[in-house]
Structure 1
Amino acid sequence: MTSTDEHSPSIRVLVVDDEALARRNLTLLLRNDPDIASVTECGSGQEAIEEIRRSRPDLVFLDVQMPECDGFDVLELLGADMPETVVFVTAYDTYALRAFEAGALDYLLKPFDDARFSRTLARAKEKLARYAPTQHRSISKIAVKSRNQTLFLNVSDIDWIEAASYYACIHIGEATHILRRTLQELEQDLDSRSFARIHRSIIVNLDRVRGLELQDSGEYEVVLNSSTRLRLSRRYRKCIQERLAELASGR
């Protein structure tokens, strides 16, 4: 999010929906907010992918059901270019769990009232302010609650992390710790030089990667030093190969 003075609008929003009326309703609500710098509309998933890669919006309101390329396809195809903050918008509540697993901040169920929209936008603003580039610092420890105690985990000890409903499962050796945060939120706190997504629901510590193995199916698996095997999504393959090559060369 672009840093501005407190009176200047700073949030760039993209609204993605194949229905023009739905896009218009969201756009009108957004333009009433003084913190919104711009609102762009896209009428298809493919158009949204191109626009997100071109303009890097701060906040995306993304319809789930669209022909040819739905909301989940958009995020899968974006891979590492997935926006910082995404809100799914749909008339069906059956996709809620999958939306949060995909890293969505919120899930707006149509029809929604102005109060519900305002709460969602407020949450988005809070997240964007929290992870503004000028404020971001990668963390060295993560606090997790375990029974009647709080454990402080060294981030450098983490092998891999996976999304599980509204939680993130942090794997360290044979231990698994549960944290009530989405994978996308957690990713913002991790050092991008050491951690990377290999799947929409998996982040790995690159220092723990032994190598990549091609399977008979034509897909790759990420093999960790612990011999754990994790699926490498095709959308992240090129990025991971480049990152591992950089680490191997010491760059």
Structure 2
Amino acid sequence: MTFTALVVDDEPIARLAIVRQLRDDPDIELIGECGDGVSAVETIRNSSPDLVFLDIQMPGITGLDVVASIGAGRMPATVFVTAYEQFAVRAFDANAVDYLVKPFSRERFADALRRVKTRLVAMRGTDSDTATRIMQALDALRRRDDYLARIPVREHERVVFVDVDDIVWIGSNRNSLQIHVPGHVYELRETMIALQARLDPRCFARVHRSAIVNVRRIKTIDPWFNGHHVVTMDNGQQLRMSRYQHETFLRLVMTQPPGPKRPDTPG
């Protein structure tokens, strides 16, 4: 069974890396290359390829704009090509839409192509299933883009931008929040509920009414008494976990990928 494929990427070297490997596959017929979103939309509409390798981050019309222009219901099976880190594209695995993270190896590409061909055989004639998978992945990406990467905090006469990855935990203090990073505590005029809604729920969780922790910076979780637990962070801070949070919190922690290694921070 032969499938037609289109490669869309504004970087010529990135396109060439994909094209070379597609040409070695007897099951793939390459119908073209596009270096921008406008030509991608036109080619998809005119040629209706079975498969598109689609770069997400392109100037002008992005890969997301291409999907929006075509419509998810008419979109071919799509392998997203992205510069996002591995942890940021876990949604693709869950939604069975494949992806390639630049730079990718020949082995990773071969694995992606093998998976997508298997999926194409299974999904031929089921466009609605393809559309559902694409929309789920795009929604996950949009949600990810809505989460804070840095938090602006006013300190005296200046504004400091705190990287969320550096946050150990966040506590409430009357009408403000205290953002704890190694060696410093920042004050933020915000409510706990409002800030939690803007933090990635895969990385930040509420252990009780007045504390949010960075899941990647947890060192241990120990039983306490009466069903409570104590969470010890990598800076030595210990926080009590509410009983009703325990089961949900543990599920989140146990599904976390390994985080970046950090030097030990004194408590």
Please, what TM-score do these two structures have when normalized by structure 1? Answer: 0.47
Please, what TM-score do these two structures have when normalized by structure 2? Answer: 0.45
